[in-house]
Amino acid sequence: MTMSVTHFIEAYKGKPPWDIGRPQPAFEELADAGEITGPVLDAGCGTGENALFLAARGFEVVGVDAVEAAVEAARHKVVARGLEAEFLVHDALALEGLGRRFATVVDSGLFHTFDDRERGRFVTSLAAALTLGGHYYVLCFSERELREGGPRRVTQAELRAAFDHPPFRVLSIAAAEMAANLDGEGRKAWLARIERVANP
């Protein structure tokens, strides 16, 4: 079952569990390891913490989200912190509409909101935004997370079914944690490293 935009609009009337006020540690580790190159697109950026972290590291960053309230919050943060980043209200299933290509796309909790049909659309959308040789890093809930609530769980097999064929290939899928503001504990996740290796 897909999680509708309405669900997220309602969530941002309060403080969503994924809005932790800091970047996800998994993306900090990727940046520290030198795996991220610019320009960067943060797909499903929320209030912008991952994008702002990368902007502070000197990357050219664009963040997109379908929820206007989240994008407005990100825009306020970028001004308050004196950083350079662009935040847009935009559908992640139509990234070709940006008219730009990026060397890195980061995804913190977006892919796991899609139903099967939307997954296919997202793969096509992503291919339109990622440069040949570019990388997509996705952090998503895994089936190892057994606590109730939250988004659809994603298996390694599902990630490979979506991305381990042209124009992409899966480089690695590793156990990770998605930080949340619910109870001080993170949620079990996968961090997948995916490369665009061919033209569609």
- At 113, is the secondary structure helix, strand, or coil? helix
pLDDT over 80 (residue 72)? yes
User: Cis ω on the peptide bond leading into residue 167 (within 30° of 0)?
Assistant: yes
User: What would the two tokens of residue 95 be?
Assistant: 């990234």
**Side-chain half-sphere CA neighbours of 191 within 13 A:** 15
Tens digit of each residue's pLDDT (9 = 90 or more) over 7-58: 655 655 666 555 667 899 999 999 999 999 999 999 999 999 999 999 999 9
Determine the pLDDT at residue 16. 56
Spans of all domains in the chain: 5-196
Q: 93 with 66: CB under 8 angstroms?
A: no
Among the listed residues 114, 129, 116, the one whose alpha carbon sits nearest the alpha carbon of residue 168: 129
Domain covering 5-196 in this structure, CATH number: 3.40.50.150
